[in-house]
Copies of this chain bind each other. A is one copy, B any other.
Amino acid sequence: MIAHSLKGAVFGPAARLHGATYVVDVEFRRPTLDADGIVVDIGLATKALHEVLADLNYRNLDEESSLSSVNTTTEVLARVVFDRMVRAIRRGSLGLGAREVESLRVTLQESHVAWAAFDGKIGEAAP
């Protein structure tokens, strides 16, 4: 649940400070399962996602220094969450097994009709 404004003629009334609720889903993919028969530990994955979102939730993104150089569109935020989730995997927050994950799809859904996703390989994440 964030507040923000968007810069650019294309955004019309969204250039005003307004807000959005996003439902955020992350899909993890790997070619073979781990020894327990799972892709990732869903408990650790949920916890890591909550931590990534806690840094964005209930905020005015116009005032977040880490986002000051970008327009915080749904597309851009999907990429931000992707990069941060990959960092969590690399740190080991999803367990050692999660290092076998090859790609992620991060979807931010505003409503039944408006959503954006970033779908990429782990290696595409910003360091």
Q: Which residues of A contact B (CB under 8 A)?
A: 1-4, 6-8, 10-14, 16-23, 25, 33, 35-39, 41-43, 46, 57-60, 70-73, 75-76, 95, 110-114, 116
- Pick from B21, B73, B114: contact of A19, CB below 8 A: B21
List of B residues within 8 angstroms of A70 by Cβ: 37
Task: List 27 interface pairs A-B (beta carbons < 8 Å), by A numbering.
Answer: A1-B14, A1-B18, A1-B20, A2-B18, A2-B19, A3-B3, A3-B17, A3-B19, A4-B19, A8-B35, A16-B60, A18-B19, A18-B57, A18-B59, A20-B21, A21-B22, A21-B110, A23-B112, A25-B113, A33-B76, A37-B70, A37-B72, A37-B73, A38-B73, A39-B75, A39-B116, A42-B114
> What is the CB-to-nearest-CB distance from A81 to chain B, in angstroms, rounded to a whole number?
15
List of B residues within 8 angstroms of A58 by Cβ: 13-14, 16, 18
Question: CA of A33 to CA of B76 in the docked complex: distance in angstroms?
Answer: 8
